[in-house]
Amino acid sequence: MKKNPVVFIIIAVFMVLYGCNSEDNQPENPDPPTASFSVSSATIEEGEQIVYTSTSSGTVESLKWEFEGGDIVTSTQNVVSVTYLESGSFSVKLIATNTGGSDNAEVTVTVVESMPEIQANFAANATNVAIGSEVTFTDASIGEPTQWAWVFEGGTPATSDLENPKVFYNQSGTYRVTLDITKDGTTDEEVKENFITVFEPASAAFTADVTEILEGEQVQFTDQSTNADQWAWTFQGGTPETSTEQNPLITYETAGEYNATLTVSNSNSTDTLEKEMLIVVKPKIDIESDLVSYYKFENNVNDEINPGDPGVALGGVSYVSDRNGNANSAISFDGTSAYVNFENQIPGPDYQGDLTFSFWLNTANANNEATLVSFYSLKTRIDVRKVNDKIVYKVVFRGNGAASTAVTETVEGPFSDNTWTHVVVRHIAADKFELYFDNQLVGREDIVRAQITEQNLNSYIGALDTGSGTQSEFFEGTLDNFRVYTRALTNDEISALFEEQ
């Protein structure tokens, strides 16, 4: 059978036209949406809600919410309310979708702990205190409470209903503090364990084994502090000047009055004690220099300083016990013929310096005049005399010869018979004579000139040299430790001679 070619042409054209129309009628996919949303609040308290509202743009065919930490985990609604029961930071995610694709938006919200109507809290001005300290407590509660009930473990008082009480702590330890507050029937309590620590404070105290010494001597300091484990000493004038030892030994080289300071500490406290002028350092006692004659009278009349020039005991001289009971250690004069002839060691021929005479005296006869020591020369006569119940020191200046006009200077002081008395005559050539009995000044006399003397072998103990080779005014009594110095001794040196055994 023969086919018609026209039919085939019509069919082909139809098919082409039909196919083209079918492609033009196919629908196009939309652009993906833009996801976004708003939140009613980005920060809330526990138990509150956040309202999330989608503000996505474009063609949105579906929504999907994802909520972290909320009472709703997911949602497809446009507006969603979510409640948060616990505090924290939580993410929120929104996914917007259509046939053309999807987009998402994400934020983080914060949930804080809910604030109660009232909340108890408090503070203290100090939490680490020494025994006996006062602590001020301050209410720091929230919600303006109207009643307070405090409990202070270890404190005085132990309880209080004041808003801001003051409490003393008198025993060491670590203590709890409790505060209960009330407002309109609502209460809250705050307990702070081990809140107050009470310690025993360091307290500085010390002693010195001596407080009056001589140059070059030492002082032992003894710590008597309590609750201390560290020591810091300062010694004015001492060597060493500082120390961290508990019980230091300090040397003082220079005369003066010095402070001593101790600072002690422990892990909690520090305390300082200063004792002003505690240590008195006196010049080193020197009873040897410028000593030109020294008679101990130990069963002889030897001069300890000049052994080649002994004295000569004459008349009724004897040796008896001294003031300390030592036998044959003092010289006794009978009052009628006894005396000692000794060599004058005061330098000559024209000595114009200071002098000191020191001796122990015990006289048995108060009602007479007697000479204890006599230095005689053509220019000067020096006497230490007993005139009834007084000791008189007299210097007669004759100038250049016996025929010159005499100038007499004297000093005197009373004493007691039948008892040992330490006598010192201090002759300060520039201006005065001084007389000491038993370390006490009993007489002082201003003078107008210095003495001039020359060596003379006829000097006496126990009698007066008349100048013509005879003696008078014999002394009745006992003498001991007779010394002559060519300088004025200091008060401390006089004291040392008095205290000498």
Beta strands 432-437 and 421-428, pairing class: antiparallel
For 291-499, CATH gives 2.60.120.200
How is the chain split into domains, by residue range? 37-112, 122-199, 206-282, 291-499
What the block records as the tokens of 176 is 């709890």
What the block records as the tokens of 127 is 């939490």
- Kindly list the distances between the CA atom of residue 96 and the CA atoms of 58, 69, 181, in Å, as whole numbers in the listed order: 9, 21, 52
Q: Which CATH class is domain 122-199?
A: mainly beta
For 37-112, CATH gives 2.60.40.10
Beta strands 339-342 and 459-461, pairing class: antiparallel
Report which DSSP code applies to 2: P
The pLDDT assigned to 17 comes to 44
CB-based burial label for 21 (10 Å; 0-12, 13-18, 19+): exposed
Q: What is the pTM of this model?
A: 0.52
Task: Render 144-177 in DSSP notation, one character per residue.
Answer: --SEEEEEETTEESSEE-SSS-EEEE-S-EEEEE
**Count of other CB atoms within 10 angstroms of residue 308:** 7
Positions of E strands within 157-267: 159-160, 166-169, 173-183, 186-199, 206-208, 212-214, 218-223, 230-235, 238-239, 242-243, 249-252, 256-265
- Kindly list the distances between the CA atom of residue 115 and the CA atoms of 46, 126, 424, in Å, as whole numbers in the listed order: 9, 28, 95
**Count of other CB atoms within 10 angstroms of residue 4:** 8
Note whether 37-112 and 122-199 share their fold.
Answer: yes
Cis peptide before 349 (omega within 30 of 0): yes
What the block records as the tokens of 333 is 């004069």
- Kindly list the distances between the CA atom of residue 18 and the CA atoms of 6, 9, 24, 421, in Å, as whole numbers in the listed order: 18, 14, 10, 162
Q: What is the C-alpha to C-alpha distance for residues 486 and 426, in angstroms, rounded to an integer?
A: 10
Instruction: Please choose, from the candidates 362, 307, 316, 356, the residue with its C-alpha nearest in 3D space to the C-alpha of residue 339.
Output: 316
Query: pLDDT (tens digit, 9 = 90+) per residue, 110-136?
Result: 999 877 789 999 999 999 999 999 999
Domain 206-282, classified CATH 2.60.40.10, yes or no? yes
Note whether 54 and 81 are within 8 A (CB): no
**Count of other CB atoms within 10 angstroms of residue 200:** 15
Instruction: Please choose, from the candidates 74, 50, 63, the residue with its C-alpha nearest in 3D space to the C-alpha of residue 105.
Output: 63
Query: pLDDT (tens digit, 9 = 90+) per residue, 442-489?
Result: 888 888 765 555 545 468 999 987 767 788 899 999 999 999 999 999
What the block records as the tokens of 442 is 């009993």
pLDDT tens, per residue, the chain with 501 residues: 444 544 444 444 444 444 444 445 556 889 999 999 999 999 999 989 999 999 999 999 999 999 999 999 999 999 999 999 999 999 999 999 999 999 999 999 999 987 778 999 999 999 999 999 999 999 999 999 999 999 999 999 999 999 999 999 999 999 999 999 999 999 999 999 999 999 999 999 999 999 999 999 999 999 999 999 999 999 999 999 999 999 999 999 999 999 999 999 999 999 999 999 999 998 888 899 999 999 999 999 999 999 988 999 999 899 999 999 999 999 999 999 999 998 887 776 667 789 999 999 998 776 788 999 987 666 677 888 888 888 888 877 665 544 445 566 777 778 788 899 999 999 998 788 899 999 999 888 888 765 555 545 468 999 987 767 788 899 999 999 999 999 999 998 999 999 987
